[in-house]
Structure 1
Amino acid sequence: MIIDRKLSEALPKAAFDVRPLCELTATIGTPTYVKAALDFAKQITGASFISMFCQGDRDHPLLVGTACCLGQRRAEQAAKGYERYSANDKNAALLAGASGLGDFLTIQHAASIKDFTYRRDCYEQPGISARVSLIRRTQTFGLSVSLYSSAEDGAFSPQMHDPATAVLSLLLATTERHVAFSLKGNTWQGQDIQTRLAVSFPDLTKREREVAAMTIKGRTASEIAEILGLAETTIITHRKKAYKRMNVRSLRQLMATI
């Protein structure tokens, strides 16, 4: 089964228990949010994995967070596979705005994926049976939240699609707040900075975002060149282009902007 459609009707209604909902919202902006989101979703849908992506640049989705209740290694394995094969996946195109603005629901079963290497690396090796995703594309950002059933449990049943969609709608809203709140202040990690840049400046290329993030962390052009294996002049060019896209002229202005 492979389904993707734009949601024009109202989302399925769901009444969530107050206590688990409060526990989830209390983690927004903290390192425990992604695991809390999975715990919340699992109670209702039985999902074993979760992932959250934003539109990191014009061609490449950026991982906000992922978790698996069967072992974090499996979640990270799936995320790395998706990074390699995102061009084969409809979610990446929806994040980039290929089908316009709005909310989109996609459902994908591993058995229905024709591309062997994509199916193997993103589903079979990490032990994923099926995925249900909600993607939101606005004029300023793209954000997706996906729930996955494990190979041990099998694909989500059709009766679970509406509850999963209702959960995803809630998680999409809380994830949007998480991205905004968690990246404030001066305690950013490298991935956090890139996520913040991706959300605030979606026109940056992947390389421009990497260079800008390292610049924010205090790296010089020569240090960035050594890390990325590029010429220092190339790094300076990427930095200039990034500054131009962000409409800033200096690191001080960049820090004030984000």
Structure 2
Amino acid sequence: MIIDRKIKGALPDTKLSATALSQLSATIGTPTYVNAALDLARLETGASFISMFCQGDRDTPLLVGTTCVFGQRRADQAAKAYLRHSADDRNSALLAGASGLGDFLTLQHAANITSFTYRRDCYEQPGIAARLSLIRRTASFGLAVSLYSSTKDGVFLSQMQDRATAVLGLLLATTERHVAFSLKGKTWQGQDIQTRLAVTFPALTKREREVAAMTVKGRTAAEIAKILGLAETTIITHRKKAYRRMNVASLRELMATF
């Protein structure tokens, strides 16, 4: 089975207890968040794996976090395989904005994947039977949270899909906050700068993000102008506007936020 549809209207309510919500919220921005998210998802849906990816100025998605009940090694194996085969995966296209803006739900059973190497590397070897994902694409960035059932447990039952969608909606919202919090600290190394800017400073326009990201990477206004095919004075104007939106007055202050 393969499902790919845009969510219309509000996502269903998880109706979780205040205690469960507070326990998950307490881990936002910490290294334990991904494990707490899987604990909640496993209790509510029976999922054995979880992964979170963000899409910014890279050609491939950026891994926010992943884990599974069978050990971190197997979760990392699946995530690395996904990054190798991201061009074959519908989620990557949705993260990049191929279907426009909005929330998208995808369901994929391993048995229905036509690419042998993709199915083998991403599903059969790590022991995954199915994946249910919720992808949010905004004008600034894309974010995907996926739950996976193991081959031991079998695919997600149809009656569980609505519940899983509600849980994914909650996890998507908390993951968005987790990304914003963790990027302000030192949780990520070598991260996608435009993604950081998009999540932390959503008021920036696309051009302002591009200019700010290149500025953080050490490029001068003249170098940025050449890359983007714009006048140097235009780049300086975009940079000034970006600084105002981020409430910084100089490159030094901007770097301090990173």
Sort the TM-score into its range (normalised by shorter chain).
0.7 to 0.9
Q: Is the 8 A contact 2:130 2:156 kept in 1?
A: yes
Relative to structure 1, is the Cα distance of residues 182 and 153 closer, same or farther in structure 2, using a 3 angstrom cutoff?
Answer: same
Q: Does 1:42 align with 2:39?
A: no
Q: Is the 8 A contact 2:183 2:196 kept in 1?
A: no
Relative to the length of structure 2, the TM-score reads 0.79
- Output the amino acid matched with 2:19: R
Correspondence for 1:190: 189
- Of the structure 1 ranges 247-256 and 110-119, higher mean CA displacement relative to structure 2 is found in 247-256
Deviation at 1:162, TM superposition (A): 0.2
What are the within-5 Å matches in structure 2 for residues 170-189 of structure 1?
Answer: 170-185=170-185, 187-189=186-188
**Residues paired across the two proteins, number:** 230
Relative to structure 1, is the Cα distance of residues 24 and 188 closer, same or farther in structure 2, using a 3 angstrom cutoff?
Answer: closer
Deviation at 1:14, TM superposition (A): 2.7
Correspondence for 1:72: 72
Paired with 1:67 and 1:188, the residues of 2 have a C-alpha distance of: 16
Task: Give the 3-state SS of the residue equivalent to 2:154 in structure 1.
Answer: coil
Q: Does 1:26 align with 2:57?
A: no
Deviation at 1:160, TM superposition (A): 0.7
Deviation at 1:257, TM superposition (A): 6.0
Deviation at 1:19, TM superposition (A): 1.7
Paired with 1:68 and 1:241, the residues of 2 have a C-alpha distance of: 42
Paired with 2:53 and 2:19, the residues of 1 have a C-alpha distance of: 27
Gaps of 5+ in 2: 200-205, 208-212, 229-234, 244-249
Correspondence for 1:95: 95
Task: Give the 3-state SS of the residue equivalent to 2:184 in structure 1.
Answer: coil
- Output the amino acid matched with 1:124: E
Paired with 1:79 and 1:241, the residues of 2 have a C-alpha distance of: 32
- Output the amino acid matched with 1:165: T
Correspondence for 2:203: none
Relative to structure 1, is the Cα distance of residues 247 and 28 closer, same or farther in structure 2, using a 3 angstrom cutoff?
Answer: same
Correspondence for 2:59: 59
Relative to structure 1, is the Cα distance of residues 109 and 23 closer, same or farther in structure 2, using a 3 angstrom cutoff?
Answer: same
Gaps of 5+ in 1: 205-209, 217-236
Task: Give the 3-state SS of the residue equivalent to 1:50 in structure 2.
Answer: strand
Correspondence for 2:197: 200
Relative to structure 1, is the Cα distance of residues 87 and 32 closer, same or farther in structure 2, using a 3 angstrom cutoff?
Answer: same
Paired with 1:212 and 1:179, the residues of 2 have a C-alpha distance of: 22
Paired with 2:179 and 2:164, the residues of 1 have a C-alpha distance of: 22
Task: Give the 3-state SS of the residue equivalent to 2:9 in structure 1.
Answer: coil
Q: Is the 8 A contact 1:21 1:40 kept in 2?
A: no
Deviation at 1:86, TM superposition (A): 0.4
Paired with 1:35 and 1:92, the residues of 2 have a C-alpha distance of: 23
Paired with 1:152 and 1:158, the residues of 2 have a C-alpha distance of: 17
Aligned-CA RMSD value: 3.1
Relative to structure 1, is the Cα distance of residues 211 and 122 closer, same or farther in structure 2, using a 3 angstrom cutoff?
Answer: farther
Q: Is the 8 A contact 1:179 1:196 kept in 2?
A: no
Task: Give the 3-state SS of the residue equivalent to 1:190 in structure 2.
Answer: coil
What are the within-5 Å matches in structure 2 for residues 134-213 of structure 1?
Answer: 134-185=134-185, 187-191=186-190, 194-195=191-192, 197-200=194-197
- Output the amino acid matched with 1:45: T
Deviation at 1:188, TM superposition (A): 4.6
Cα deviation code 1:35-85 (max 9, x no counterpart) = 000001110000000000000435211100001011111110000000000
Relative to structure 1, is the Cα distance of residues 131 and 189 closer, same or farther in structure 2, using a 3 angstrom cutoff?
Answer: closer
Paired with 1:13 and 1:122, the residues of 2 have a C-alpha distance of: 30
Cα deviation code 1:118-154 (max 9, x no counterpart) = 0000000011000000000011111010000011101
Q: Is the 8 A contact 2:57 2:193 kept in 1?
A: no
Relative to structure 1, is the Cα distance of residues 75 and 10 closer, same or farther in structure 2, using a 3 angstrom cutoff?
Answer: same
